[in-house]
Chain A
Amino acid sequence: MDISEQLNLNSTTEEEVEPYLEITTALVQKRRSQGRIIFDRFVRNRVAIVGASFIILLFLFCFAGPIVWRIDPNQNNVLDVSATLAPPALAHPFGTDDVGRDTMARFMSGGRVSLLVGLTSMLMALMFGIGIGSIAGYYGGIIDNILMRFTDVILSIPLYLLLFVLSASFTDGTPKSVILLIAVFGWTYAARLVRGEFLALKEREFILASRTIGARNFRLMFRHILPNAAGPIIVNATLLIGTNIILESVLSYFNFGIKPPDASWGSMISVGQSLFALDYWLVLFPALGIFLTVLSLNLVGDGLRDALDPYMTER
C-alpha cells in the first residue's frame, strides 16, 4: 500500500471520537489517562513502529548476534593473504579488513560501543540542554543573560583544543568519561533551541490562560510549554546521536574511550577511509549502521511528536 494512504488512515476521525464514545455508551467505563492516549496514538502510527522495530533489530544484531556469529572481532589473520581485504562473501558477509579481521563481528562489537555511547550521551546532553534552555527562556532577564553568556563561553572553546589539553593529563578514559565529555559539550545547541522556543511560546495566549487558572511556573514550563517545543528537540536529539557516534571516534584518537584493536562504528569509518576506493565494505557497513540508527530514531521521534500533538485530535 502507498505510504500516503497509510498515514491518511491515521488521521481519520475514528480515533478522535473514541474517548467520548466510551463515556456515553458506558458511563462506568474509565476514561483513558493522558499517557495511555499518547501511547495508543503512537502504537497506531505504522511508520513509527517500523522505526522502533529497526532499532530493536539493530540492538539485537549487535548484542545477541555474537551468540550465533562466534568469530572473534579482534582475531587477525595476516598470514593468509586470501583472508585479508576479502570482499563480502558467505564466509564473511561484511568482508574482512586489512589484517583479516571479520568486519561483521567488528560491526557487532563496534555497534555495542557506538549505540550505547551515542544514546546515553544524547540523553544526557538533552537533559542539560532542556534544563538550561527552559530556565533561561522562561525566566528571561538576568537569569537568561547569565545562562546564555555561559553557553557562549562553552561554544567558544574548540573541542579539539580541549582534547589536546585533556589527553596530556588523562590518558586512560573509560566509556563513562567519554559519555560525560560528549554530554558536557553537546548540550549547547539544545539549550539555545529550547530557549528560543520558550521565548516565543511563553507569550502565547494559552500560557496566560493556564496562569490565570492558577498553574505554577514549574507546571507551565514542563506541562504546557515543553511539549510544544518537542519538534526541534526531537530533531536535535536524532542529529546528536549521529554526531556523538562520530565524535566518539575522534575522542578515541586522543586516547579517550575505546582503544585499538577494539572497534566502534566511528573508528571503523575513520580507519577504513584510506582504503575506501578499493575496499568499500570497510566504510559502507559502519556508515550504514549509523544511517539506520539515526533514521529509525527519527521515525520514532516523529511518531512521538505526533502522539504528543493535541492538534492531531482536533482536526
Chain B
Amino acid sequence: MGRYILRRSLQAIPLLFLMTIAMFVLIHLLPGGPDQVLFNPHQTEAAKAHLRASLGLDDPAPIQYVKWVTSALTGNFGYSFETNEPVWTVIGRAFPNTLQLFGAALILALVVAILLGVISGVRQGTATDYTLTVLAYAGIAMPVFLLGLLVDDVFGVALKWFPTSGTESVAVTFTNPFSALLDHLWYLVLPMTVLAIAFIAGWSRYMRSSMIEVVKQDYMRTARAKGVGPVAVLFRHALRNALIPLITIVALDFGAVAGGAAITEGVFSWHGMGLLFLDSLDRRDYPVLIAMLMIGAVFVIVFNLLADILYGVMDPRIRYS
C-alpha cells in the first residue's frame, strides 16, 4: 500500500502540471478580460498601457504562462488584480471559513446519514423507510437557496436562536480565546446545518441501498449465529462492507471543498471560497482564479486517493497491483 500511495503521489505532479496549462487556457478564454477592474476612468491611456505592461498582460499567452509557472514554482502565485495583495493572503482569508463550514457539515452529515441509511436499509419497506425516503427526496428537490432562507427566517429572524449572517460578532473583543471560539461556532450552526441537509439527503440514500445488499449476505447470518448482538452485527460487520459507495461519494463531495458552497455562503454571508470564486470570476482576477483552481485540483486528487486507500481498508480483498 505504501508503494501505491507513493506512486500515486508522484503521478500527481505531471497531472497537476498538465492541469495548469488547461486552467491557464480556460481563464484566458474568459470573455472580457480584467481591464474593467484594473483601470479607473481617470487614468490616462499612457498610464493604462504602463499598468498592463507592468503586469505582463501584453505578453503573448505562452510567455505569460511560462512567467507564471516559474514564479509559481518558487511559491509566488502573484498578486490579486483587485486588492494588490499576494494571492495567498486573499485565499488565506476565505479558505479557513470554508474548511470550517465543510468540516462541521461533513461530521454532522456523516453521522446522521449513516444512521438514517442503516435504519431505512434494515427496515426496508416499512413506514419508517418510506417516511425517510420521502424526506430525503424532499431535501433533494428543495432549492438550497430556499432552504437557506427558510432556516435563516425561522431560527435566525423569528426565534432569534442563532445569528442570521456573518462569521463572528462584530465590535466585540473577546479577552478569552475560548469565548471567541464559542462565538464563532455560534455563527457556524445555521450555514453548517443547511449544507449538511443537502449532503444527508443524498448520502443516506447510498447508505440505504448498500445496507439492503449487505444484510442479506451469508456472513451476516454466520455472525448472528455466533451470537453477535444486533447492533454490533450492523455497525461492526455490515457497515464495513456497505461503506464503499458512501466513501466514493463523500470523497467526491468533500473533494469539491476548495470550490466552496457559493449558495449557502451567499445566504449567510459566510465569506468562503464559493463567494471568492464567483467574485474573482466576475472581476477576471486571473492570479486568484488560477490559484483557486489549482488548490481545487489538489483537493480532488487527494480525496480520490484517500477514497482508494479507504476501499482497501474496508475490504482487504481490494488490491491495486
Contact = CB atoms under 8 A, between A and B. Distances in A.
A205 B320 CA distance: 18
A234 B300 CA distance: 24
Contacts of B320: 140, 144
Nearest to A168: B31
A165, A235, A276, A287: residue with the most chain B Cβ atoms closer than 10 Å: A235
B187 interface: no
A315 B216 CA distance: 9
B304 A165 contact: no
B117 to A, nearest CB: 10
Interface residues of B, number: 63
B30 interface: yes
B38 interface: no
Query: Closest 8 CB pairs between A and B?
Result: A7-B125, A291-B141, A168-B31, A231-B209, A203-B317, A156-B297, A232-B245, A295-B137
A165 B293 contact: no
Interface of A: 2-4, 7-8, 47, 140-141, 144-145, 148-149, 151-153, 155-158, 160-162, 164-165, 167-168, 188-189, 192-193, 196-197, 199-200, 203-204, 228, 231-232, 234-235, 238-239, 242, 246, 269-270, 273, 276, 283, 287-288, 290-291, 294-295, 298-299, 305, 309, 311, 315
Contacts of B27: 161
7 contacts: A7-B125, A8-B125, A153-B22, A156-B296, A158-B277, A189-B252, A291-B141
B300 A196 contact: no
Given A231-B213, A235-B206, A242-B141, 13 more contacts: A4-B125, A8-B125, A140-B320, A152-B301, A156-B301, A161-B293, A168-B29, A193-B245, A196-B244, A199-B311, A203-B317, A235-B208, A294-B137
A contact face: mostly helix, strand, loop, or mixed? helix
A311 B145 CA distance: 42
Interface in B141-179: 141-143, 145-146, 149
B81 to A, nearest CB: 17
Contact of A155 (B30, B134, B145, B255): B255
B142 A287 contact: yes
Interface of B: 11, 15, 18-19, 22-23, 26-27, 29-31, 124-127, 130, 133-134, 137-138, 140-143, 145-146, 149, 202, 205-206, 208-210, 212-213, 216, 244-245, 247-249, 252, 255-256, 259, 277-278, 281, 289, 293, 296-297, 300-301, 304, 307, 311, 315, 317-321
B143 A291 contact: no
Contacts of A315: 216
B301 A203 contact: no
Given A7-B125, A197-B244, A148 B206 contact: no
B45 to A, nearest CB: 26
Contacts of A160: 277-278, 281
B241 to A, nearest CB: 8
Given A152-B15, A164-B30, A2 B127 contact: yes
Contacts of B252: 155, 188-189, 192
Contacts of B142: 287, 291
A311 B221 CA distance: 14
Contacts of A167: 31
B141 A149 contact: no
Contacts of A235: 205-206, 208-209, 245
A156 B300 contact: yes
A162 to B, nearest CB: 7
A149 B209 contact: no
A202 to B, nearest CB: 9
Contacts of B26: 157, 161-162, 165
B29 A165 contact: yes
A298 B138 CA distance: 12
Nearest to B294: A156
A200 B107 CA distance: 26
A282 B10 CA distance: 53
A232 B304 contact: no
A295 B301 contact: no
B125 A3 contact: yes
A196 B205 contact: no
A231 B210 CA distance: 6
Contacts of B124: 7
A7 B124 CA distance: 9
A87 B210 CA distance: 44
Nearest to A188: B252
Contacts of A188: 252
A188 to B, nearest CB: 7
Given A158-B259, A168-B31, A197-B245, A287 B143 contact: yes
Contacts of A193: 245, 248-249
Contacts of B137: 238, 242, 291, 294-295, 298
A283 B244 contact: no
Contacts of B301: 152, 156
A288 B289 CA distance: 37
A240 to B, nearest CB: 11
B105 to A, nearest CB: 18
Nearest to B241: A200
A300 to B, nearest CB: 13
A4 B256 CA distance: 39
Nearest to A155: B300
A315 B215 CA distance: 12
A149 B244 contact: no
A115 to B, nearest CB: 14
B249 A189 contact: yes
Contacts of A141: 321
Contacts of B145: 273
Contacts of A189: 248-249, 252
